Amino acid sequence: MSDHSTDFDFQQGRWRVKHRRLKARLAGCTEWEEFEGTSEQRPLLGGNGNVEDNLLHLPGGDYRAVALPSFDSASGTWAIWWLDARQPHQLDVPVIGRFEDGVGSFFAEDMHEGRPVRLRFQWHTANPQAPRWEQALSDDGGATWETNWVMDFTRA
């Protein structure tokens, strides 16, 4: 057995990212905005963590953010933390989960515009040279999901 989890090894290195996100969340919106970005990921904690440094070229202006996945070998789960440079003193609630059959699914209880929601991140890694990340929200406890952000990665 390895001394660290290899689940996020696919993401190591530099990437170009195509972003698509809904203009409004949980509002019946079907209008998407698209923009570019970059991402660079490297391991931490002896391979049981990673730091993913992101530059997003939003239509309203660029910003940086960091994803910080960390692995708990006792539970076999990952927690993914998000730090947005526009709110540099606030870590978002971590999503927690694991990879199975090439899909990583991570969940959290969160708030959206003052109401409780279930948050889901999914990593699709069937093609490790072109992984996809998706974010979805549910306002009915996970019975239905609205995917509101998609990131498609290609090697830089």
Q: Coil, strand, or helix at residue 11?
A: helix
At 48-57, the pLDDT tens digits run: 999 999 999 9
Residues 6+ apart with CB under 8 A from 55: 37, 38, 39, 62, 63, 64
Residue type, 119: L
**Cβ(65)–Cβ(85) below 8 Å:** yes
Adjacent-strand bridge partners of 33: 21
pLDDT at residue number 1: 45
Query: What predicted TM-score, i.e. pTM, was given to this entire model?
Result: 0.94
Residue type, 139: D
